Structure 1
């Protein structure tokens, strides 16, 4: 098995893990304990997604350079949300919500773009819309939730 395939397998597993743990954390009560533990696992999963993305981009730069930039931006959001909570920055809750939800939009976007052609009905949506739809839907939700805190 070559390095790119190995990284891709790990990347898919970690991305799926982030999709699951993110969904769980959005649906559970926000208190120290379960939400915090799942959030730690989400962050670790996202770190693995980031590392494997960068590795795959470097190995196959001519075809995957975009992956490098998307990885930096998406993980940057996850890290921002994680550190806002960990370091208790002033206004941390709003930053935490924005960063974590923004990073989750990144995971959903990646899954839709990569797998959209194989999903009935979604395969009818133009590529540009697949790329932007999670952001168009998710950003107003982030702002509404952020204004409540």
Structure 2
């Protein structure tokens, strides 16, 4: 059973790593990117659930629980920030969604290398694309609020 959960975890993580940039590119091209966005949210959700399952079945992985919950919270909150037009969403959304993506990258690097230095490296490197996204969003005119959003 653990192997199945681990397989789902890896496949969902890989999907999230592919769908995150696809969503970003769609948005940069002026498209809503609903498919990649939904896929990214599902992938991150599956990663969080499977990480939680792995953590409760192996006491050495209990540290995954807060990371899994935090990653999911970042992804969902980032998606909702724009949709709900929260005050300051243009500043917060890149940090929230970028943080969820950085968590996925960090997970891969830690799993593959075991090097704790990779806890810091993705966060540092991720600041540049987050800053670029914030700059672009600052220049985007306000969109009308969608019906039912």
Instruction: Give the TM-score range, shorter chain.
Output: 0.7 to 0.9
Contact (CA 8 Å) 2:55, 2:64: kept in 1 or not?
A: yes
CA–CA separation in structure 1 for the residues paired with 2:31 and 2:107: 30
2:122 alignment partner in structure 1: 134
Deviates more, 1:84-93 or 1:66-75: 84-93
1:99 aligned to which of 74, 93, 96: 96
1:108 alignment partner in structure 2: 105
2:70 alignment partner in structure 1: 73
Offset of 1:92 from its aligned partner?
2.0
TM-score with structure 2 setting the length: 0.81
Offset of 1:139 from its aligned partner?
2.3
Q: How does 1:1-149 map onto structure 2 within 5 Å? A: 2=1, 4-30=2-28, 31-33=30-32, 35-60=33-58, 62-116=59-113, 127-148=115-136, 149=138
- Structure 2, gaps ≥5 residues long: 139-149
CA–CA separation in structure 2 for the residues paired with 1:7 and 1:147: 39
Contact (CA 8 Å) 1:18, 1:46: kept in 2 or not?
A: yes
- Between Structure 1 and Structure 2, the one with more helix by share is 1
Q: CA RMSD in A?
A: 1.8
2:147 alignment partner in structure 1: none
Contact (CA 8 Å) 2:48, 2:68: kept in 1 or not?
A: yes
Offset of 1:29 from its aligned partner?
4.1
CA–CA separation in structure 2 for the residues paired with 1:13 and 1:74: 17
Contact (CA 8 Å) 1:80, 1:95: kept in 2 or not?
A: no
Paired positions, count: 136
2:143 alignment partner in structure 1: none
CA–CA separation in structure 2 for the residues paired with 1:11 and 1:140: 28
